[in-house]
Amino acid sequence: MSINDYRINRIIGKGSFATVFKAFSRKTQKPVAIKIFSKKMSKQEEELARKEVSISRTIDHPNIIHLYDEFRRNDTWYMVFEYCGKGDLDKLVGKKGMLKEEIVALLAVELVEAVFYLAEKNIAHRDIKPANILITD
């Protein structure tokens, strides 16, 4: 399946009002993550999605995934993000068990740096949990 400049590959996550797919950019041939919002969003869910887009456009930090593109087509909203191929922290811990202290320390530093950056911009994440901490390498 294709949409705009992206070739959709497979589902990598599912939330309450959006599904995330791994896809490939036709321009760069690199993987991306496409968040596809449900057509049947409530007004409140749509407002949350608008805020996510608005905030994501203003963020530029190495420890926060980058929004590449966003568009609507046939009443469906698409957000194209940087792809984090190692999955999330929840799955990593589930697969590997207890992580080494050095890894935990590195993740903690990166998380604090990201949260501090957001705080400087008066942004509160409000849903920090292992499933929302994505691993790149």
Token pair of 108 as six digits: 């903690």
Residues 131 and 84 sit within 8 Å (Cβ to Cβ): no
Taking residue 76's Cβ as centre, other Cβ atoms within 10 Å add up to 13
Structure tokens at 130: 């292992």
Residue tagged active-site, from 5, 75, 90, 127: 127
**Catalytic annotation present for 75:** no
**Which token pair is 44?**
């409140």
Instruction: Collect contacts of 128-132 with beta carbons under 8 A, ≥24 apart.
Output: 129/90, 130/88, 130/89, 130/90, 130/93, 131/88, 131/89, 131/90, 131/91, 132/88
Q: Which residues are catalytic?
A: 127
